[in-house]
Amino acid sequence: MADSIPPNALIGDRYALRGVIGEGAMGVVHEAADPEGRPVAVKVLVRTDAEGLARFRREIEVCARIEHPNVVPVLDHGVDEAIGVPYFVMPLLRGGDLSVHMKRTGAMPVEVTAPLVVQACRGVAAAHQAGVIHRDIKPSNLILEETDGQVTLLVADFGLATAEGLGGKLTRSGALLGTPHYISPEQSTDPKAVDARADVWSLGMVLFQMLAGAPAFANAGVFMSFLVQKKGVPPLQDVAPWIDGRIARVVHAALIRAIDARWPDVGELLLGLEMAVGFDVARRKLSLGDIVGVGEATRGLVAPRAEIPQHWDELLRG
């Protein structure tokens, strides 16, 4: 079984394992070496019931549809005959996921947040163009990698994704799919019926947390209260008063409960963010050393309050 793989096992007769680097509900990720000795990451299924096996295979199929610099690619996949479970191979990324960096920095300045979220939007948009809805966008699924002094953000973990043209329904009726800090109201009630705007919401929640230094919802109980009592998302400027009102409005246009009033797609969210922060800031190239927290001088600022939009097209009218 995958949970008892020897530390130096050879997976698929090709990939020499070197140690566990990550674990989740579905699989264990190992650092490994390919036949040429190059470092890779190998994800091996641990949940071997019928649904777990079907989800793992779907994740492989979904990832194979998407080719984009901001999406973690699948380099190879197969079934290891010795242990009888599937695996797939990804690049070994050493930059850490976004949640790790946020624990260190707390709230991030706009000139760091915007370029990273722009890259996340590009990766998610590529998935949407391939007919894939991620359904689990959160900081731990956004991986940073530095090459030649420049950071690339890659969208990872499509284990909960849904896609056009894939047979079978893997979500049990009434099951909560995703993480309460980041899932949209509609996903919490009917995860099988969501469209691309659910991922827009999740990106908005990530953007909120990066700017504020904490999630909009402190825990699952607060999220459930939000759902049941039909409350609004707390104003970003309440917890991060230094944030420019134009940026706050972009964030809240992604976090409108009414689906048709929310940014209609990731491309519009990206464009709104670029307009709010300026093209040069949004497209700024970062190194890992640039990823820092908001300074004390900035925290002492209070920007003019902005009215929270009720519909995304309000931002087009100024």
Catalytic residues: 136
Q: What tokens were used for 288?
A: 């890992």
The sign one gets for the Cα dihedral 148, 129, 61, 203 is: positive
Q: How far apart are CA 133 and CA 191, in angstroms?
A: 11
The sign one gets for the Cα dihedral 94, 97, 99, 104 is: positive
CA dihedral 59, 63, 64, 70 (to 10 degrees): -170
Asked if residues 306 and 242 have their Cβ atoms less than 8 Å apart, the reply is: no
Q: How far apart are CA 196 and CA 28, in angstroms?
A: 28
CA dihedral 67, 89, 131, 277 (to 10 degrees): -60
Give me the residues paired with residue 195 across strands: none
Q: What tokens were used for 7?
A: 């530390």
